[in-house]
Amino acid sequence: MIPDTPAGRFAPSPTGDLHFGSLLAAMASYCEARSKKLEWQLRIDDIDGPRSVPGAADSIQKTLIHYGLTWDGPIRWQSAQHLRYRHALATLIDDGLVFSCSCSRRSLPPGKVYPGTCRHNRLTSIDEPVVDKALRIVMPETLEFDDAVQGTQRVDVAATVGDIIIWRRDKLVSYTLACAVDDATDCTEVVRGADLLQSTAAQIAIMRYLSLPAPRYAHIPVAVDKNDDKLSKHSKAATLDSLDPLNTLQRAWHFLGQKGFETRTINDFWLQATDHWQISQVPAALRMAELQT
Ligand SMILES: [Zn+2]
CA distance 76 to 181: 13
99/58 same-domain check: no
| Residue 91 phi, psi dihedral angles, 5° rounding | -65, -45
CA of 286 to the centre of ligand 1 (A): 32
Query: How long, in residues, is the chain?
Result: 293
CA of 103 to the centre of ligand 1 (A): 4
DSSP string, 228-279: SPBP-TT-GGGB--SS-HHHHHHHHHHHTTPPP---SSHHHHHHHHHHH--G
CA of 139 to the centre of ligand 1 (A): 14
In a domain, 229, yes or no: yes
In a domain, 169, yes or no: yes
CA of 118 to the centre of ligand 1 (A): 4
CA of 204 to the centre of ligand 1 (A): 23
pLDDT digits (tens, 9 = 90+) for 22-77: 999 999 999 999 999 999 999 999 998 888 999 999 999 999 999 999 999 999 99
Strand partners, 190: 217
53/93 same-domain check: no
Q: Residue 42: which domain range?
A: 7-76+221-289
CATH of the domain at 143: 3.40.50.620
Strand partners, 217: 147, 190
CA of 47 to the centre of ligand 1 (A): 23
In a domain, 105, yes or no: yes
pLDDT digits (tens, 9 = 90+) for 252-285: 999 999 999 999 999 999 999 999 999 999 999 8
In a domain, 184, yes or no: no
| Number of domains the chain contains | 2
118/158 same-domain check: yes
Q: Domain end: 176, 200, 233, which one?
A: 176
117/69 same-domain check: no
CA of 137 to the centre of ligand 1 (A): 11
Q: Exposed (0-12), middle (13-18) or buried (19+): which is 199, by Cβ within 10 Å?
A: middle
In a domain, 141, yes or no: yes
pLDDT digits (tens, 9 = 90+) for 204-236: 999 999 999 999 999 999 988 777 777 765 666
CA distance 94 to 92: 5
Mean pLDDT taken over the chain: 93
159/133 same-domain check: yes
88/166 same-domain check: yes
CA of 101 to the centre of ligand 1 (A): 4
CA of 180 to the centre of ligand 1 (A): 23
CA of 278 to the centre of ligand 1 (A): 45
72/95 same-domain check: no
Provide mean pLDDT across the span 179-207. Answer: 96
In a domain, 185, yes or no: no
87/71 same-domain check: no
Q: Domain end: 109, 142, 176, which one?
A: 176
CA of 172 to the centre of ligand 1 (A): 17
Output the pLDDT for position 232.
Answer: 66
CA of 224 to the centre of ligand 1 (A): 35
- Residue 202 has a CB neighbour count (10 Å cut-off) of 27
Burial 36-46 (b: 16+ CB within 10 A, else e): eebbbbbbbbb
CA distance 121 to 126: 14
Output the pLDDT for position 293.
Answer: 43
112/170 same-domain check: yes
In a domain, 210, yes or no: no
CA of 161 to the centre of ligand 1 (A): 15
